[in-house]
Amino acid sequence: MSFSSDIKQEISQLEFTEGKARALLSALFLSRASLNWSNGRTWLSFQTQNASIAKLVFRVLKNEYDVDVQIATIKRMNLKKNNTYRLIVQSKANDILEDLGILRQGGLYNTPPYTIVRSEKNARAFMQGLFLASGSINSPKTTNYHMELNVPSQDLAIMAVKILDRFYIPAKITLRKQQYIVYTKAGDKIADFLRLLGANQSLFLFEDARIQRDFYNQLTRLDNCEVANEMKTQKAAKDQLYWIAVIEQSHQKVSDKIAHVMAARKKNPEASNVELCDEIYLMYGETITKSGMKHRMTKIKELAQTFLEANPDFVLEPTNVALQQEANDIQEDVDLDGELELDLESDFDSSISFTDGISLSQTNGNPDLLGPSFASEREKDEKNSQ
């Protein structure tokens, strides 16, 4: 069963007596019933494809007007093969319509008199009847929320909108295939409409699905915002590093506050402005607000742009903060000022003789300068290789 069918079945199980019964039947008959004349006889006919609605109308007519109601089942041979239930009232048809305010001295009317829907409970029953006759609500699992009432006349559509407005449920009217559609697309207002209909179980299902969807949608929006903010921060940091490089290579003099910001940005190339504020406090003990950081970054941008406008031929030398930092770390690990000590016994072959007093720095890669002993060894190797 569809979500709308579940709602209608739940409404059909409610009790309707006296004024509420009149309002319910008035809405149902205005939407679905027909008055027939044949051979001097008048009878009332009402048909629906929902068995629970047929049972409700049968029960209310028997209880309120004590009439004989005939039920006929029409089986269709189309693809859906839904049964159509027709209820026929042959006696007291005119009396029933007059009591419901549909048949008056001027003839048949498209709307009931205001006395039928004056009270809140009767107005609620009238909207229940309109929904049972021709209402539908999309399943909360679908992508869009939509509730509509399909009514046969414009006057009845306007009346339905006014009643909904009494319960703070705004609705609109549109024309579709010669039928007037009263609809709303707001999820919270559809929930209020379900509460108005008294379909509590369907309301819980609708609200549960709506809360879950809103929760996941909110998470998705937050993730998208975080990604967008991160990309924006990285782009801003890249531009700021470019301005800093221009200022440094142009050898411009800046204040200590600007210099602190430049140093903090170079040390933290991917940090946001708020994180830079914390970094400056750790590096220099200076407290700076987010607006203050933004003001200093604007100053750095103005200095760089002013220099570039005055020097259009200026070419920025490529720099890489990460590689420069790595080179500095390597330079700190290697002591270039210390003396290079060699352990001749462990680092060189003992067969090489250094008796001729020639140091390694004097050979310049020429093995012949190492003495006759090394030359004789080389000749032996060449003969062996041949």
pLDDT in tens, 200-255: 999 999 888 888 888 888 888 888 888 888 888 888 888 888 888 888 888 888 88
- Kindly report the average pLDDT of the chain as a whole number: 80
> What DSSP element (H or E) covers 205?
helix 200-249
Structure letter (DSSP) for residue 272: -
Helices 3-12 and 200-249, axial angle in degrees (round to 10): 140
Judged against a pLDDT cut of 50, whether residue 344 lies above it is answered with no
Range name among 64-68, 105-109, 179-183, 261-265 with the lowest pLDDT average: 105-109
| Residue with more model confidence, 282 or 349 | 282
Q: What is the DSSP string of 51-103?
A: HHHHHHHHHHHHHHH---EEEEEEE--SSS--EEEEEEE-SSHHHHHHHTTSE
Give the pLDDT band of residue 379 (cuts 50, 70, 90).
low
The mean pLDDT of 356-364, rounded to a whole number, is 42
Distance of CA 360 to the CA centre of its chain: 74
Q: Could you tell me where the DSSP H helices lie in 148-199?
A: 154-166, 187-197
- Asked if 126 and 27 count as a contact pair (C-beta separation under 8 A), the reply is yes
Distance of CA 126 to the CA centre of its chain: 37
The pLDDT of residue 195 is: 93
Give the pLDDT band of residue 363 (cuts 50, 70, 90).
very low
Range name among 126-130, 290-294, 344-348 with the lowest pLDDT average: 344-348
Give the pLDDT band of residue 121 (cuts 50, 70, 90).
very high
The mean pLDDT of 108-135, rounded to a whole number, is 91
Give the pLDDT band of residue 177 (cuts 50, 70, 90).
confident
Q: Per-residue pLDDT tens for 4-14?
A: 989 999 999 99
Neighbouring residues of 277: CB distance < 8 A, sequence distance ≥ 6:
288, 289, 290, 292, 293
Q: Per-residue pLDDT tens for 307-320?
A: 888 888 888 877 55
Neighbouring residues of 245: CB distance < 8 A, sequence distance ≥ 6:
316, 319
Going by C-alpha positions, the residue among 225, 325, 322 that lies closest to residue 270 is 322
pTM (2 decimals)? 0.60
CA distance 164 to 126: 11
The mean pLDDT of 256-284, rounded to a whole number, is 87
CA distance 204 to 210: 10
Judged against a pLDDT cut of 90, whether residue 180 lies above it is answered with yes
Judged against a pLDDT cut of 70, whether residue 259 lies above it is answered with yes
Please, what sign has the CA dihedral across residues 380, 381, 385, 386?
Answer: negative
